[in-house]
Structure 1
Amino acid sequence: MMTDVLVAHSTEVEKANFYKKTYLHVALSILAFIGVETILLKTVPVEIIAMMFQGRLTWLLIIGVFWLASILASKWSLSQSKTTQYLGLGFYILLEAVIFMPLLYIAANMAGGANVIFQAATLTIAMFAGISGVAFASKRDFSFLRNIIVIGGFISIGLIVGGMAFGFNLGLWFSVGMVILASATILYQTSKLKDSYGTNQYVGAALQLFASIMLLFWYILNILMSRRS
Structure 2
Amino acid sequence: MRKTAPYWVSGFLDLPADAHEAGSRFWENVTGWRRSAPRGDFGEFSTLEPPAGDATLRVQRVFDGVSRMHVDLHVPDVREAARQSLDAGARLLADHASDGYIVTRTPGGLAVCFVDNPGAVPPPPTEWSPTLQSIPDQLCIDIPAHLHDQETAYWSTVTSRPLTEVPHHPEFLRLPAPGPRGLHLLLHRTNSPGQVQAHLDFATTNLPAETTRHLHQGATLLQTHPSWTTLLAPTGTPYCLTTRHP
Where on the TM-score scale, by shorter chain, does this alignment land: which range?
under 0.3
TM norm structure 1: 0.23
Higher helix share: 1
Higher strand share: 2
TM norm structure 2: 0.22
